[in-house]
Structure 1
């Protein structure tokens, strides 16, 4: 099958719109009022919001950040000064390309406050004499759940989880990360088993 060779300057607006819509990364276009003009399908899935509902909303409103649900609104309270999403967008409007800045957000999900961890990339774009910012938001919450002080029994090595229950280490890891565990045996235990087997003869 003969491929089609495209040059970037030949790609039409229809193809660019198709790419934006279908890329499997959460994308947002932000205007100079730091409000979202459009989001793609991946962003709609991650943040559980339609493109229509996201239109002219601020980032915190789309994420359902708890700081956006204050009288000051998104960008208005003290905590917003440290917001990675906000800082990345503002830096991009100053001409910088911000690559994969890690930020943690407390968001409302199904009536509960959850921790959302994102890698934020932001870059200025220029369209019809307007400067806007394209934002890529990568959800790495599952990868970064294991952090902070985690109590572990010094005898049986069970983990004391956030619900107050003690569970096996491997179960805890599988519940709190994307890791898949398989059983193996280390050289020290292998030698101990060999010696124990030899002594039992």
Structure 2
């Protein structure tokens, strides 16, 4: 068993998938969290570009792979690495990447962080926030009165909530089922 250097131990201790990449987002090294994130060992991924490793659909658009498609020009991961090669850092910039999962396409919401490492190399951190983003999209609604809980733990009517969040005003009416129910209730009250 080979003894790891303190730097290697520290690199593996970072709980976020972290890669050392070149200016073409070609992977030179990765930490333990990255190996776990990718579901395997480092060797199959070394010297491959990020989009190929993530199964980005853009990487499959041309025979040359990741970075070659016209749509790759807007890739935030590539842009962040280029920016960092130029001397700047990027901190937790949010992006959505479409990836293939078997025969289907899924979206991954990611936070991208980059910082300079050595001449021509960049530290690239990729945080998968897909599940967190999905949970944030849930709107807690009372199952009885249909009021919606806001972040400050106050409750608004659904009309107030939609007006504040997305500028939508609701008109009111009755669907056929509720209309019949109300007519039936009114008839029962009269007798």
Asked whether the two chains share a fold, i.e. TM above 0.5, the reply is: yes
Partner deviation per Cα, 1:37-94 (whole Å, 9 max, x = no partner): 0111111222324210110010101111011112241111121111111110110000
Counterparts in 2 of 1:143 and 1:132: CA distance versus 1, 3 Å: same
- Counting only pairs closer than 5 Å after superposition, residues 1-201 of structure 1 correspond to structure 2 as 14-71=5-62, 72-126=64-118, 130-145=119-134
Larger Rg: 2
Counterparts in 2 of 1:51 and 1:88: CA distance versus 1, 3 Å: same
Count of aligned residue pairs for this structure pair: 144
* Deviation for aligned residue 1:33: 4.0
Cα root mean square deviation, aligned: 3.1
Q: Distance in 2 between matches of 1:123 and 1:90?
A: 11
Q: TM-score, normalised by structure 1?
A: 0.62
Q: Distance in 1 between matches of 2:22 and 2:89?
A: 16
Q: Distance in 2 between matches of 1:14 and 1:102?
A: 33
Q: Distance in 2 between matches of 1:100 and 1:185?
A: 30
* Deviation for aligned residue 1:119: 0.3
Q: Distance in 2 between matches of 1:29 and 1:144?
A: 26
Whether the aligned pair in 1 keeps the contact of 2:18 and 2:126 (CA below 8 Å) is: yes
Counterparts in 2 of 1:143 and 1:76: CA distance versus 1, 3 Å: same
Counterparts in 2 of 1:123 and 1:187: CA distance versus 1, 3 Å: closer
| Structure 1 runs not aligned, ≥5 long | 1-12, 151-155, 158-168, 170-183, 189-201
Counterparts in 2 of 1:143 and 1:15: CA distance versus 1, 3 Å: same
